[in-house]
Amino acid sequence: MDVKIKKGKIEDEAAEAIVLSHYEGEKSLSEETAAVDRALGGRIRELIAGGEFTGKRNQSLMLYLKGEIPAKRVLLVGLGKKKEFSAEKIRQAMGTAGRPIREAGLKAFSTPLHGRGQNKITTAESAQAIVEGSLLGLYQFTAYRTEKRDEIKEVQQITLVDRSDGKIAEVAAGSRSGQILAEVVNYVRDLCNHPSNVVTPSRLAEEARTIAKEFGLTCRVIEKAEAESLGMGAFLGVARGSMEPPKFIILEYTGGKKKDAPVVIVGKSITFDSGGISIKPAEKMEQMKTDMSGGAAVLGTMKALAQMKLPVSVVGILPATENMPSGTAVKPGDVVTAMSGKTIEVINTDAEGRMILADALAFATRYKPSAIVDLATLTGACVVALGNHATGVMGTNPKLIERLKRAGEDCGERVWELPLWDEYHEQIKSDVADMKNIGGRGAGAITAAVFLRKFVGDYPWAHLDIAGTAWNDEARPYAPKGATGVGVRLLIQWLTEMSRGRA
């Protein structure tokens, strides 16, 4: 996508379409909407007075013009109530605006800055939210459509038009951050939407190598033999059922001072979760191609970090394997020894995410990190608890959890805490080993986290269960059906605050 910045008046834009916004229930129009309204002889005010356009959140209305201004169309979009306004409303409004423009077959649109100054939204924040919302909302996954490809519609250019003096540099900076983030999130969505016969552990390793090469990161891929000598029995136990070679992938970005302890982010990278011998029901099993969403988010975060040159040091770890049933697969009742030396009784082979994370988290502690954050499509129980509107967070460090929650609120990827009380530990006690890999009926999201906790030592750690947020069954304003790419914007928001010394 080509994103352009221009100083000028939106009413002078010779665009195929311009996007104008309005707050619900407000009499007065924004400066830009008012300017166009005057040129149109009060047509926008009439539509509002008649109740045809109310400015309700995510309402949109296309107007066809007859040469009153150089633009051919105006797309009105609602920002919702003024007092509830936030950058999230801009992202949603622009996500909503993009699709009717694309459906009309248009290749480009122009937009002024929306919501600037309202509820402390700065010029850069508005520009970032506009670009993020537009690019994320216009995402479509068409890699496997071979028929009628020429009928695929695509918006190719967005122009941000700002009339105010001396603000263009700020508009450009915000727009650039928005474009980096949205393009990375769309890359993550692609990785998750591609099927598991394409996105294999080997492919994830290739992606990591490509990112490292392009942006100057360090990449190391631990192959099966080396993982064996490192004693990664939990990770390899999961990989044993599959013909696809497992890959334990590490990416390092050093943006901070050499002596600073890095942050380690770990992403569950099961490229297909059949359940293994404890095989899953056939219904919706195809969705388990996205069981590497955590790992994809880690790859994306590393890519974004390097492009944004954030002054923090971050290590990304992806334990990548399939979880398959076969004659060589791990069986219920088997005991494996994790890299930390702890033994695990595998009661259910479908609880494989925590197994691979056990070794990845233990590996993370080798960096003596300032914090460890893992992202995993870990439990159906988290989907039951929080649905699709919040990522579950659990951990040992209240400050870290607070910061992640705040970052989530700011970037529109909400995070909600579940407790990790000691009492839950009882549920994963095993009769034959140090622990078992499932905790019975109650509190499934929590007992999974309790299991992970045994591998992070005393390092500040937070676990993000993205099982409910990584996939959309229905389209949202700026996230079409399918993979959402959740996690990248959340981690970058948190790391940005950290680099500013605010987190």
Interface with Zn ion by CB under 5 A: which residues? 270, 273, 291, 350, 352-353
Q: How far is the CB of 116 from ligand BES (least distance, A)?
A: 39
381 binds ligand BES (CB under 6 A): yes
Taking the complex as a whole, how short is the minimal distance between the CB of residue 105 and ligand BES, in angstroms?
36
Cβ count near 147 (within 10 Å): 6
32 lines the binding site for ligand BES (CB under 6 A): no
Residues 403-442 that bind ligand BES (CB under 6 A): 438
CB of 184 to ligand BES, least distance (A): 22
Q: Which residues contact 179 (CB under 8 A, 6 or more apart)?
A: 1, 3, 131, 135
Q: Which of residues 462-501 bind ligand BES (CB under 6 A)?
A: 467
The answer to whether 20 and 113 are in contact (CB under 8 A) is no
Kindly state the number of chain residues that form the binding site for ligand BES, as judged by CB under 6 A.
16
- Contacted entry of ligand BES, Zn ion, none for residue 379, CB cut-off 5 to 8 Å set by kind: ligand BES
Among positions 272-301, residues that touch ligand BES (CB under 6 A) are 273, 291
160 beta partners: 5, 111
Identify which of residues 132 and 291 has a Cβ nearer to ligand BES in the complex.
Answer: 291
Stretch that binds ligand BES, among 344-352, 401-409, 415-423, 473-481 (CB under 6 A): 344-352
Q: Which does 444 bind (CB under 5 to 8 A by kind): Zn ion, ligand BES, none?
A: ligand BES
Helical segments of 107-220, H only: 123-137, 168-193, 201-215
Q: Give, in order, the Cα–Cα distances in Å from 220 to each of 203, 248, 389, 485.
A: 14, 8, 35, 24
DSSP label of 351: -
- Is 88 a binding residue for ligand BES by CB under 6 A? The answer is no
- Least gap, CB of 143 to ligand BES (angstroms): 22
First to last CA, the chain: 32
Closest of 486, 489, 483, 487 to residue 194, by C-alpha: 483
Q: How far is the CB of 349 from ligand BES (least distance, A)?
A: 8
Cβ count within 10 A of residue 153: 14
* Cα(56)–Cα(256) distance, integer angstroms: 44
Residue 293 interacts, among Zn ion, ligand BES, none and using kind-specific CB cut-offs from 5 to 8 Å, with: none
Answer yes or no: 303 catalytic: no
Residue 380 makes contact with ligand BES by CB under 6 A? yes
Q: Which whole-number Å values give the CA distances from 222 to 196, 228, 230, 236, 488, in the listed order?
A: 21, 10, 10, 12, 24
Site string for ligand BES, 358-377 (x = CB under 6 A): -------------------x
Nearest to ligand BES of 380, 398 (CB atom): 380
CA dist., res. 316 & res. 322, Å (int): 19
Residue whose beta carbon is closest to ligand BES: 380
| Helix and strand counts by DSSP (H, E) for the chain | 14, 20
Catalytic residue among 6, 280, 406, 414: 280
* Spatial CB neighbours of 263, under 8 Å, sequence gap ≥ 6: 312, 313, 314, 315, 369, 370, 371, 372, 373, 495, 498
Q: Cβ of residue 313: shortest distance to ligand BES, in angstroms?
A: 30
Catalytic residue among 73, 176, 268, 354: 354
Per the annotation, the verdict on 56 as an active-site residue is no
The binding site for ligand BES (CB under 6 A) comprises 273, 291, 348, 350-353, 377-381, 383, 438, 444, 467
Query: So which residues are the catalytic ones?
Result: 280, 354
